[in-house]
Structure 1
Amino acid sequence: MSGPKVVRVITREEIIAICQGHIAALVAAFEQWQRVGKRNEIVDAEDIRLAQSRISAMGDLLAMDKFAELQKQAPLEIAFLKADMETRIERAAEKTARDRNEGKRRLRAANSLAMALSEKGFAVPPALSNPGSCSQDELQAAVTQGFALLAPSSLPSEITDRQRELAAKLGEGEAHPTLADWLATQHPSAVEDPRLADLERRYEELRALDPERASKLSDRVEKVSSDRSSRRSLLIDSLALDIAAERRTATDEADALVKLRAMEAQLKNIQTPASASQLAKINNLLNGSSTVAELSNMIATATATLQTIIQERAEQDRRSAILAGLSELGYEVIEGMQTAWVENGRVVLKSNKRPGYGVEIGGNPNSGIQLRTVGFAASADPRDAIADISAETEFCGDFSVLQAKLAASGGELVVVKALGVGTTAVKRISAVPENEISDTNARGTAPTVRRS
Structure 2
Amino acid sequence: MSGPKVVRIVTREEILDICAGHLRRLEQAIARWEAQAQRLGQLSEQERAATHGRLQQLRQLIEADRLVDLQKQVPIEIEFLKDDLQQREQRAVQQVAQQRQLARRQRENAATLLGALQGKALSAEWLQQLQAIAEGQPVAAVESILAQGFAHLGAVAQEPGLSEAQQQLARRLQDDSAPQTLAQWRAAHEQKEPRLERIEQHIAQLLTLDDQASADPYLAALRLIDAETRAPQRNLLLDSLVLELAQATRDSQERRARLARLQALASEVASLCPAAAGAELSRAEQCSLANMAPVDELIARFSALIEAELQQRAALARRQAVLEGLAGLGYEVREGMATAWAKDGRVVLRKSATPGYGVEVGGNADNGRLQVRAVALSAQRDTRRDKDIETIWCGEFQRLQALLATQGDDLSIEKALAVGAVPLKEVLLDDAQQADREQAHQRT
Instruction: Tell me, yes or no, whether TM beats 0.5.
Output: yes
CA positional deviation for 1:204:
0.5
Give runs of aligned pairs for residues 172-251 of structure 1, distance below 5 A. Answer: 177-186=180-189, 188=190, 191-212=191-212, 213-229=214-230, 230-251=232-253
The answer to whether the Cα contact below 8 Å between 1:311 and 1:366 also exists between their aligned partners in 2 is yes
Alpha-carbon distance in 1 for matches of 2:77, 2:438? 49
Q: Does 1:278 align with 2:277?
A: yes
Per-residue deviation at 1:442?
11
Quick one: structure 1 residues 215 and 144, their matched pair in 2 at CA, closer, same or farther if it must change by over 3 Å?
closer
Q: Distance in 1 between matches of 2:357 and 2:411?
A: 23
Identify the residue that residue 436 of structure 2 maps to in structure 1: 439
* Distance of 1:20 and 1:287 partners within structure 2: 27
Which residue is equivalent to 2:148? 142
Q: Which residue of 2 aligns with 1:159?
A: none
Q: Which position in structure 2 is the counterpart of 1:294?
A: 294
How far is the alpha carbon of 1:371 from its aligned partner? 0.5
1:345: how far off? Answer: 3.2
- Taking a change above 3 Å as real, the CA distance of residues 343 and 181 of structure 1, as seen in their structure-2 partners, is closer
Q: Which runs of 5+ in 1 are unaligned?
A: 153-174, 444-452
1:357 and 1:376 in contact (8 A); partners too: yes
- Residues 442 and 69 (structure 1), Cα distance of their counterparts in 2 relative to 1, 3 Å cut: farther
Amino acid at match of 2:285: L
Aligned AA (2:238)? I
CA shift for structure 1 position 346: 2.5
Residue 258 to residue 393, structure 1, CA distance change in 2 (3 Å)? same
Deviations 1:214-241 (A, max 9, x none): 2343222333345443222322232233
Residue aligning to 2:424: 426
- Listed as ranges, the matches of 1:39-50 within 5 Å are 39-50=39-50
TM-aligned CA deviation for residue 115 of structure 1: 4.8
Checking the alignment, whether the CA contact within 8 Å between 2:347 and 2:360 is kept in structure 1 is yes
Deviation at 1:93, TM superposition (A): 2.3
Check whether the contact 1:336–1:442 (CA below 8 A) recurs between aligned residues: no
Decide which of 411, 415, 418 is 1:417's aligned counterpart.
415
The answer for the alignment partner of 1:329 in structure 2 is 329
Please show how residues 385-404 of structure 1 align to structure 2 within 5 Å. Answer: 387-404=388-405
- How far apart in 2 are the matches of 1:380 and 1:85? 71
Please give the per-residue CA displacement for 1:152-195, whole angstroms capped at 9, x wherever unaligned: 9xxxxxxxxxxxxxxxxxxxxxx985432322222x4xx33101
Q: Secondary structure at the match of 2:366?
A: coil
Note if contact 2:346-2:362 (Cα within 8 Å) is conserved in structure 1. Answer: yes
Q: 1:66 to 1:250 in 2, by over 3 A?
A: farther
Taking a change above 3 Å as real, the CA distance of residues 253 and 195 of structure 1, as seen in their structure-2 partners, is same
Secondary structure at the counterpart of residue 31 of structure 1:
helix
The CA distance in 2 between the partners of 1:400 and 1:33, in whole Å, is 44
Task: Name the aligned partner's letter for residue 54 of structure 2.
Answer: R
Q: Which residue in the other structure is 1:172 paired with? A: none
| Greater Cα shift, 357-366 or 192-201 | 357-366
TM-score by length of 2: 0.78
Q: d(CA) in 2 for partners of 1:222 and 1:137?
A: 23
Name the SS for the 1:192 alignment partner: coil
| Contact preservation (8 Å) 2:4, 2:417 | yes
* Bigger mean CA deviation after superposition, 364-373 or 382-391: 382-391
| Equivalent position SS for 1:8 | strand
**Taking structure 1 as reference, are residues 432 and 43 closer, same or farther at Cα in structure 2, changes over 3 Å only?**
closer
Distance in 1 between the 2:227 and 2:57 partners?
A: 52
Q: Give the CA deviation at 1:203.
A: 1.4
Alpha-carbon displacement from aligned partner over 1:105-124 (angstroms, at most 9, x marks no partner)? 334334545555557x6647
The 3 A distance-change label for structure 1 pair 57 and 301 is same
Provide, for residues 296-320 of structure 1, a one-character-per-residue CA deviation record: whole Å limited to 9, x for no partner.
1111112222322333333222211
Distance 1:128 1:400 in 2: 90
Separation (CA, whole Å) in 1 of partners of 2:399 and 2:72: 33
Stretch moving more, 31-40 or 350-359: 350-359
Shift in CA distance, 18/7, structure 1 to aligned 2, threshold 3 Å: same
Cα drift, residue 201 of structure 1: 0.6
How far residue 324 of structure 1 moved from its aligned partner, in angstroms, is 0.8
2:43 counterpart SS class? coil
- Amino acid corresponding to residue 313 of structure 1 in structure 2: R
Q: Which runs of 5+ in 2 are unaligned?
A: 134-138, 159-177
When the two chains are superposed, the root-mean-square deviation of aligned CA atoms in Å is 3.6
Note closer, same or farther for the CA distance 1:134–1:339 as it changes in structure 2 (3 Å cut): closer
Query: What secondary structure sits across from 2:382 in the alignment?
Result: coil
Look up the match of 1:267.
269
Q: How does 1:133-172 map to 2 (within 5 A)?
A: 133-136=139-142, 138-139=144-145, 142-143=148-149, 145-146=151-152, 149=155
Instruction: Tell me how far apart the structure 1 counterparts of residues 217 and 370 of structure 2 sit (CA, whole Å).
Output: 58
Structure 2 counterpart of 1:210, one-letter code: D
In structure 2, relative to structure 1, the CA distance for the partners of 1:118 and 1:303 (3 Å cut) is closer
Which residue of structure 1 lines up, in the alignment, with residue 320 of structure 2?
Answer: 320
Q: Distance in 1 between matches of 2:307 and 2:439?
A: 30
Query: Does the 8 Å CA contact 1:347/1:441 hold for their aligned counterparts?
Result: no
SS at match of 2:375: strand
Distance (whole Å) between structure 1 residues aligned to residue 374 and residue 326 of structure 2: 13
Q: Which secondary structure state, in structure 2, belongs to the residue aligned with residue 217 of structure 1? A: helix
Counterpart Cα distance in 2 of 1:38 and 1:394: 61
What one-letter code is carried by the residue in structure 1 that aligns with 2:286? N
**1:366, 1:62 → 2: CA distance?**
25
| Structure 2 match to 1:18 | 18
Cα distance in 1, alignment partners of residues 389 and 403 from structure 2: 21
Aligned counterparts of 2:359 and 2:113: Cα–Cα separation in 1: 98
Aligned counterpart, 2:136: none
- Distance in structure 2 (CA, Å) of the matches to 1:141 and 1:432: 101
Q: Deviations over 1:409-434 (max 9, x none)?
A: 2x43343322233433333456999x
Post-superposition offset of 1:333: 1.8
Residues 242, 69 of structure 1: CA spacing in aligned structure 2 closer, same or farther, 3 A cutoff?
farther
- Per-residue deviation at 1:294? 1.6
The alpha carbon displacement at 1:129 in A equals 6.0
Other structure's SS at 2:55 match? helix
AA in 2 matched with 1:415: I
**In structure 1, distance between residues paired with 2:9 and 2:249:** 45
TM-score, normalised to structure 1, is 0.77
